[in-house]
Amino acid sequence: MKVLIPSSLRSYTQHSEAEASGATLAAVLADLDRAYPGIRFRMVDEQSRIRRHIRIFVNGDQVRDLSQPLRATDEVVIVQALSGG
């Protein structure tokens, strides 16, 4: 599926869009990390919590649970939320 990558993570992907697959959000992020090593840990901490200033939307709805099931046709958008100056 198509994953939109925020500017802060394009040092990993080089592009604003990446392709990844998986049956859950966790699996998609793991697949992304295989293609772009290190990218997952910048978004998800070692206790598998989405980091404070990272937001993930699936088809326009915010997802907070990494076990959320996904379909191949879904669109995943990763955005960076406000973090101050």
Partner 1 sequence: MAHKIRKRTARPQGAASRTRRAPRSQPARRVLVLVATRKGAWLYHGDATRKTWRVDGPHFLGHIISHLVLDPRDGRTLLAAAKTGHLGPTVFRSTDLGRTWKEAARPPAFAPAPAGENGRAVDHTFWLTPGHSAEPNTWYAGTSPQGLFRSEDGGVTWNPFSSINDDPRYRAWMGTVQDGTPDGPKLHSIIVDPRDSRHLYFAMSGGGVHESVDGGRTFTPIVKGLEVVEGFDATNISFHDPHCVRLCPSNPDRLYQQNHCGIYRLDRPSNEWVRIGKNMPKRVGDVGFPLVVHPRDADTAWVFPMDASTVWPRTSPEGIPAVYVTRNGGKTWQRLDSGMPERQGWWTVKRQAMTADAQDPVGLYFGTTSGELWTSRDEGRRWACIARHLPEIYAVEAAELA
> Which of 46, 61 has the CB closer to partner 1?
46
> Which of 38, 69 has the CB closer to partner 1?
38
What is the rounded CA–CA span in Å between residue 59 and residue 83?
A: 24
> Which of 2, 49 has the CB closer to partner 1?
49
Interface with partner 1 by CB under 8 A: which residues? 6, 8-9, 37-38, 41-49, 51, 53-54, 80-81, 83-84
Of 1, 5, 2, 20, the closest CA to residue 54 belongs to 5
Sheet containing strand 2-4, edge to edge, reads: 17-19, 2-4, 75-80, 54-58, 61-62
Q: Smallest gap, in angstroms, from Cβ of residue 47 to partner 1?
A: 4
